[in-house]
Amino acid sequence: MPRELHYLLIDISNSFTKIVPSSVDSIGEKIISIPTNEMNERSLQEFSWNLEDPDFYIILSSVVPKLNDKVENVFGKERILEVSNSVHIGCEIDYPDPRSIGADRLANAAAAVSLYGAPAVIVDFGTAVTFDVISSEKSYVGGVISPGLASMTDYMFDHTALLPRIELDEPSSVIGKSTEDAMLSGAVIGYRGLVKEIISSIFNELDESSIQVIATGGYAQLISSGLKEINIVNDSLTLEGLRIIAGLNPFS
């Protein structure tokens, strides 16, 4: 009878670190989110309750390598499966330099193939927005990287004298009646145009009749609500990918 493994999934992104316990079949209901610049060994110690369990493992996705040592110091290197191109993700990687693919993008690919099938396009609205493409042969073939929505609006605030910082939300109309409204319309509606055009160009290049488009990340709900091209929103896609990768890579 197989052992019941207990996982702790850790996704370190540039802005936030998400942590959640998981079984083989499902992630926990309570996902803890910590600003990545506040993540330290003390905050990780709160999740070390299971260290006496020999079947307790850490599945790590990190795009901030300097923080990986903190995870190792708390949990021990022998317990950690760090996602990279050298682990099984449930699909092939057809890419000139697989080592350059971010761990979060590999986790997203694993989740997309396992949960929704292929071909697929994954749109991750993070600090940058990434588009990752899975072919009908279940092969990761590349993607697109664009500036994130928040980084674009923050840039206007940081580099102009009169434009304010805005809270991103659905604009009430295209034509703004104030500076804030005009900026909000340009940000949200304009960003949907960027996403729509990139998806359309990917579709044309793939030349497939039916492609799943899955959105995840901080602004997935906001931007996807106005785009018929995106048919699935999964806020936990990266974490689901870590859970799936754990099952594909047996522990000794």
Q: Which of 159, 178, 179, 169 is nearest to 225 (CA)?
A: 169
For residues 191-205, average pLDDT: 94
For residues 216-236, average pLDDT: 93
pLDDT cut 70: percent of the chain above it: 95
1: pLDDT strictly greater than 50: no
Instruction: Specify the pLDDT at position 183.
Output: 84
Look up residue 122 and give its two tokens: 């994954």
Sheet holding 212-217, edge to edge: 92-93, 139-147, 128-134, 120-125, 212-217, 232-233
3: pLDDT strictly greater than 60: no
In one-letter notation, the amino acid at residue 197 is: E
pLDDT in tens, 51-88: 888 889 999 999 999 999 999 999 999 999 999 999 99
2: pLDDT strictly greater than 70: no
Element (H, E) at 215: strand 212-217
Q: Which position has the higher pLDDT, 55 or 95?
A: 95
Q: CA 68, 155, 105, 224 torsion: positive or negative?
A: positive
**Spatial distance between the Cα atoms of 187 and 206, rounded to a whole number of angstroms:** 28
Question: For residues 102 and 124, is the Cβ–Cβ distance under 8 A?
Answer: no
Which residues does the annotation mark as catalytic?
104
158: pLDDT strictly greater than 90: no
In Å, what is the CA distance from 15 to each residue of 38, 204, 218? 10, 32, 10
Question: For residues 110 and 89, is the Cβ–Cβ distance under 8 A?
Answer: yes
Q: Which position has the higher pLDDT, 165 or 231?
A: 231
In terms of DSSP bridges, do strands 128-134 and 139-147 run parallel, antiparallel, or are they unpaired? antiparallel
What burial class does residue 210 get, using C-beta atoms within 10 Å of its C-beta: 0-12 exposed, 13-18 middle, 19+ buried?
Answer: exposed
Q: Which pairs count as long-range contacts for 158-162, CB under 8 Å and 24+ apart, including other chains?
A: none
Instruction: Specify the pLDDT at position 4.
Output: 64
For residues 113-128, average pLDDT: 94
126: pLDDT strictly greater than 90: no
**Spatial distance between the Cα atoms of 67 and 51, rounded to a whole number of angstroms:** 20
In Å, what is the CA distance from 53 to each residue of 8, 10, 56, 123? 12, 18, 5, 37
Three-state SS at 142: strand
**Spatial distance between the Cα atoms of 186 and 194, rounded to a whole number of angstroms:** 11
* Mean of pLDDT over the chain: 90
Greatest Cα pair distance, the chain, in angstroms, is 66
